[in-house]
Amino acid sequence: MGDTGSRPDSFSSRVSDAGRFLVLHEAAEEVLDELTERYVVDRRESKEPVGPAPGADVVRTVLLMPRSPAAGPLSIAFTDFPGIVLRLGRWFFEALPDCGCDDCAEDPAALVEDLRSRVSAHVEGGLWECVRRGVTGSWLETRLIGPGLRTTRQAPIDPAEARAARQEGFAAAVQWAPWIRRAP
């Protein structure tokens, strides 16, 4: 694909130095290790994608599942771009970088800070999710709130996924609990 790295040809802008985003892999590894050491979680690795990673293949995925059922899971998929896809709870997804092209000029250091702030907000119980029904269909809503962070997202949801969420008890609003710390 020439100078566009592993991004699809449909991206109109060049990616002259995709390697600058390798710091995201390093930061994600550090975050996962810190969380595994600090909180009561089970850690699993796979190659399953955790959400949309446009134009990139998943190299591996790490899932941290808190042992408290009231606390939401966290997954990080490492992509070959290089980048990551962060999944918090059931429906909060974030691809870092979002694009990675030269025109977007995403700052790797700022993306690392975004990763850390989102993870921190989630671990402290700042993620709220629900599925809503409307006349034209269902949609999901997520809110992530932490120090200096307030993100709200809404997106349509496939009818089958909305039904599954209702059957599994995830359609009602869920405020994920803070993770439990390991004893010192």
171 — pLDDT class (breaks 50, 70, 90): confident
Q: How large is the angle between the packed helices 22-38 and 108-123, nearest 10 degrees?
A: 20
Instruction: Check pLDDT > 70 for residue 166.
Output: yes
Report pLDDT digits (tens) over 54-88: 667 889 999 999 999 999 999 999 998 889 999 99
The pLDDT assigned to 4 comes to 37
User: Is 93:51 a contact under the CB 8 Å cutoff?
Assistant: yes
Instruction: Check pLDDT > 50 for residue 3.
Output: no
Omega of the bond leading into 184 within 30 degrees of 0 (cis): no
Show me where the domains of the chain are located.
2-123, 127-175
Report pLDDT digits (tens) over 4-23: 344 444 444 776 767 788 99
More confident residue, 139 or 103: 139
More confident residue, 116 or 12: 116
The pLDDT assigned to 163 comes to 87
